[in-house]
Amino acid sequence: MNDLVEVRPGVYRDSVTLMRVSRALTEHPGVTVAVVAMATELNLDLARDLGFAVPPATPGDLLVAVRAGSPAELEDAAAELERQLAARAPASGTRGEAPPRTTRSAARAFEASLALVSVPGEHAFAEALDAVEAGLSVMIFSDNMPVEQEIFLKDRARARGVLVMGPDCGTAVVGGAGLGFANVLRPGPVGVVAASGTGAQQVTSLLDLAGVGVSHVLGVGGRDLSAQVGGRSAVQALRALDEDPATELIVLVSKPPAPEVARAVRDLDLATPVVAALLGPGQDDLTTAAEKALRALGRDVPAWPSWPAPARRPDTTGTLRGLYAGGTLCAEAAFVAGTGEFTDFGDDAYTRGRAHPMIDPTLRLEALRGVASGVALMDVVLGHGADPDPSSWLAPAIREAVAGDVDVVVAVVGTDGDPQRLRAQAARLNEAGAAVFTSNAAAARHARLLAGG
């Protein structure tokens, strides 16, 4: 076989960067398999399962495993690997110094107040604790962290007077700076506390489409409003926004919370009005919450942009399949539709050892091709950190699906300022045969009707 296998001692890149490098190599001509990742046991096992002969390595080493169809293609792939790594190389330290080797030394070097942790989940706790002990608030992009570690971190952060956002915090906007998967949002009076990354993106994108901006978006991690975690970070974040003079209204977004935690958070004594979008039976969907926020600010609610699909045969009904990248969007669609089979491909079970589906579409494309009839409902989330051109891979798959016996409905979450260009992406998906909505709830209702609901 034409394999390139290397272990590069002490070479570190963050997980999102390496996901993008692996995907770029996988799409390179002649490459059949590419794994570029930190040499954790999980990634070493993944490479071995793919048939690579992997030498000894430690989690602090960079693993490269590439397979191509010919020696010439492998040589070309190796050159592309170096180009990809060079293009994404981290900046050097201040004043030409070597980069800091710990979170605490980085905090001193850059006079930071916030750290972003994006390493494999089993290593995230140590880095996040180092940040908290250095007096930094921390956003933990990493997932797969044990809940006991999350609780310890959040208790320690509260004692230190800082905030832990995460783990599995995909989205935040602090002082206008987007972190993780972040849309381009105008500044404005709405503060958001979100135990949901894509839920925050849906609400803030709709507000932006209505001409209303945000002050801050403080993600707290998908488990924060669970019975175990008890809303530890949500309470801190709500109080912080309540004290922020730029925030006139707060929107609280969460996946289905524990009822007792939801009550406790709702009962906080705050001077700033709060609109809640706590998903669950009988609760407002995200679009309704965004509309309530607009009305509370005295703003008009617009008609949310949508692009109807070409007329379909009246007998095209059947099973509704939800194929989602965003966990909260998936949960919302399931509640709204009330029927069908829904899969959250962003769940930890699907992201262990592979890129998030907002970056790597492979699993969702396979699932869409497996839908033989009925209705397929999907989300496409735009913004920094997400796929730079999702319609380039999804539009051909939609054409293939609608040429058979499948109706495709897509919820596109994004703003006109996003680098992917919201309306251009929606138009391409619509031209391929999908019905496209900027409201996920509206998309779910349309899909339910198509499925005979």
For the 91-167 domain, the top CATH level (class) is alpha beta
Would you give the end-to-end CA distance of the chain in angstroms? 52
Task: Calculate helix-pair angle for 121-133, 147-160, nearest 10 degrees.
Answer: 10
Comparing 2-87 with 306-450, is the CATH topology the same?
Answer: no
Tell me whether residue 412 is exposed, middle or buried, using C-beta atoms within 10 angstroms of its C-beta: 0 to 12, 13 to 18, 19 or more: buried
Does 306-450 carry CATH code 3.40.1280.10? Answer: no
Give the global pTM. 0.86
Task: Tell me the per-residue pLDDT of 101-133, one tens digit each, with 9 for 90 and over.
Answer: 777 788 778 888 999 998 878 889 999 999 999
Closest of 389, 377, 413 to residue 201, by C-alpha: 413
Q: Which residues pair with 35 in a beta bridge?
A: 65
Q: Say which DSSP state 112 is in.
A: -
Spans of the chain below 70 pLDDT: 90-98, 311-317, 352-355, 453
What pLDDT was estimated at residue 352? 66
Q: Which amino acid is at 140?
A: I
b/e for 420-435, b at 16 or more Cβ within 10 A?
bbbeebbebbbebbbb
What pLDDT was estimated at residue 97? 65
CATH number of the structural domain 187-302: 3.40.50.261
Contacts of 117 (CB under 8 A, 6+ apart): 103, 124, 127, 128, 131, 138, 139, 140, 141, 142, 166
Q: Which residues pair with 264 in a beta bridge?
A: none
Taking 3-state DSSP, the helix, strand and coil percentages for the chain, each rounded to the nearest 5, stand at 40, 20, 40
Q: Where are the domains of the chain?
A: 2-87, 91-167, 187-302, 306-450
Q: Which residues pair with 406 in a beta bridge?
A: 374
Q: How far apart are CA 364 and CA 370, in angstroms?
A: 10
The strand pair at 177-180 and 171-174 is best described as: antiparallel
Does 2-87 carry CATH code 3.30.70? Answer: yes
CA 104 to chain centre: 27
What pLDDT was estimated at residue 394? 95
